[in-house]
Structure 1
Amino acid sequence: MTLSPFDLHGRRAVVTGAGRGLGQAIAAGLARAGADLVLLGRPGNQSATRDLVAGLGRKVEVVDLDVSDPDAVERIAAEVSSDRPVDILVNNAGVIEREDSVDVSRQSWNRVVDINLNGLFFLSQQFGRAMTERGSGKIINVASLLSFQGGLRVAAYAASKHGVAGVTKALANEWGPLGVQVNAIAPGYIATDNTTALRQDPDRSRSILERIPAGRWGNAADIAGAAVFLSSAAADYVNGHVLVVDGGWMAR
């Protein structure tokens, strides 16, 4: 029997921010493809996803972690890797704060960048070290359409997501020769908590939908297939790529 190149049985995947939305959908998609899961995130926020993954018949662990704390990142990464290697890392945890740029505080700026970019880099560093040593691994970062555009009233978020695209390419250059592929997914306008304000604004929602050839907002499940692909052997020659999943937004 020939196995599918998308089969993830025997693989162990870490997903950050898997409590809901994109992270939950990605975790479920990886589990359906056969991967066992480690869910990293805020205390008490991962239980629904844990139950979902367990219901799919996969092993699942929940570990509390504030990804913006580099000391905690180092400690937790060592603990998670101590008994079994991590084959796949999905850096999904993220936050967005909408405010006029003239009013953005240092605290707000630092919070967004610490979670979206700094945490992503240091988690990749910690798990990537073992991946490069054994010569295999997949890292998938969740970028954004604002990795390419500036957006409105989201300066820190846009800066952090531009940084995610840059880190993805930088790590791909370094770690590709060592057998590790580093890629990113740039979701389009997806119906999650992060886009609630946009969807509730009739003018913004209408202008967004008018530009999407698919004619609808995306849903979290639309991102899961891309994550499975980039996590699998089917993507062994894909490296340093930012895969846009946007219903055609960027084509307009």
Structure 2
Amino acid sequence: MLDYDKEADAYDVSRGGEARAAAATEAVLGLVPDGPGHLLDVACGTGIVTRRLAADRPGLRVTGADLTPAMVCRAGARLPGAVVRADSRRLPFRTGAFHVVTSIWLLHLPDAPEDVRAIVAECARVLRPGGIYVTTVDKAAAHDVGSDIDAVLAPRPRRTAQDAAATVTGHAVRHGLRPAGDGVFRGVGQGRSPRATIADLRRGWFTMLPPGQSRTEEFATRLSRLPDQDRPRPDPVFAVRAFRKPTAA
């Protein structure tokens, strides 16, 4: 996993910035009913989406939570007094505290299935009856857009996608949530170019291809032979899925 303390300074610029955040916010709020309430953004990162959630839905009181100190610092500057440092597997909030819980670009990160189960369980726990949980799913698959870069990278080793839609839905249902809709949004500015992909390989962004290994360099060499080294290929299209916590009978 990346060191997000080190990534914090360049995180937004390297991941589509405000344009991608706006697209993500629109997709998330499209699955959240209008009305007042309290929203928790789990693993809020720099707060770039969290701030937009608060601005675009003034009736929601928004709280952000993240484990990485540098991310908490940046998010706190965007939402003063509304961001806490917390482990998403053990959230420091009472049961049923929130009308809406979101986790954007989180469930793909853990290597261990039990961590993803724990995160979904905690999001379900802090959600009040009738509330909505919205999360991204299938993040890695979204980057496969059918480009020549994807063709080069196709043989690479891949870890199991812990955020596969079916897997996440299974965890959610086991913790009392019911599917309540889905949506997509474009990862504006995240289309890969060959040169940028080589740089990502050598930074360790492809978790099963450690920097410096011969196989990693083999992929880098093949990518270097592609045409239009600096031309971004199509943007990924990310998926979001919503779940509702039933009200008591």
TM-score by structure 2 length? 0.50
**Does residue 62 in structure 1 map to residue 84 in structure 2?**
yes
User: Structure 2: how far apart are the matches of 1:9 and 1:189?
Assistant: 30
Matching residue of 1:89: 102
Q: Contact 1:86 / 1:127 at 8 angstroms: preserved in 2?
A: no
Q: CA RMSD in A?
A: 4.7
| 1:129/1:80 CA distance change after superposition, 3 Å | closer
How far does the alpha carbon of each residue in 1:90-136 deviate from its partner, in whole angstroms, 9 at most, with x for none? 1523677xxxxxxxxxxxxxxx513xx543331111221453x7232
Match of 1:153 among 145, 153, 156: 156
4+ residue segments displaced more than 4 Å: 4-9, 147-152, 171-176, 182-190, 199-211
Q: Contact 1:39 / 1:63 at 8 angstroms: preserved in 2?
A: yes
User: Structure 2: how far apart are the matches of 1:205 and 1:42?
Assistant: 38
1:50 deviates by 1.7
Number of residue-to-residue matches in the alignment:
179
Matching residue of 1:107: none
Matching residue of 1:166: 166
Q: Larger strand proportion, structure 1 or 2?
A: 2
1:172 deviates by 5.8
1:198 deviates by 0.9
Matching residue of 2:93: 80
Match of 1:113 among 111, 114, 117: 111
Match of 2:120 among 98, 121, 124: 124
| 1:205/1:113 CA distance change after superposition, 3 Å | farther
| 1:118/1:181 CA distance change after superposition, 3 Å | farther
TM-score by structure 1 length? 0.50
User: Structure 2: how far apart are the matches of 1:142 and 1:187?
Assistant: 14
Match of 1:32 among 45, 51, 55: 55
How far does the alpha carbon of each residue in 1:188-246 deviate from its partner, in whole angstroms, 9 at most, with x for none? 58549xx995174666694895752xxxx57xxx97xx87xx67xxx98xxxxxxxxxx
User: Structure 1: how far apart are the matches of 2:157 and 2:198?
Assistant: 16
Q: Larger helix proportion, structure 1 or 2?
A: 1
Identity among equivalent positions (%) equals 11
Residue type matched to 2:101 in 1?
A: I
1:184 deviates by 7.4
Partner-residue secondary structure (3-state), 1:121: helix
Q: Contact 1:88 / 1:138 at 8 angstroms: preserved in 2?
A: yes
User: Structure 1: how far apart are the matches of 2:226 and 2:185?
Assistant: 20
Residue type matched to 1:12 in 2?
A: L
Residue type matched to 2:40 in 1?
A: A
Matching residue of 1:137: 132
Q: Contact 2:41 / 2:101 at 8 angstroms: preserved in 1?
A: yes
Matching residue of 2:197: 198
User: Structure 1: how far apart are the matches of 2:165 and 2:185?
Assistant: 9
User: Structure 2: how far apart are the matches of 1:148 and 1:173?
Assistant: 27
| 1:6/1:196 CA distance change after superposition, 3 Å | farther
Name stretches of at least 5 consecutive residues in structure 1 with no aligned partner: 68-72, 97-111, 237-252
Q: Contact 2:108 / 2:137 at 8 angstroms: preserved in 1?
A: no
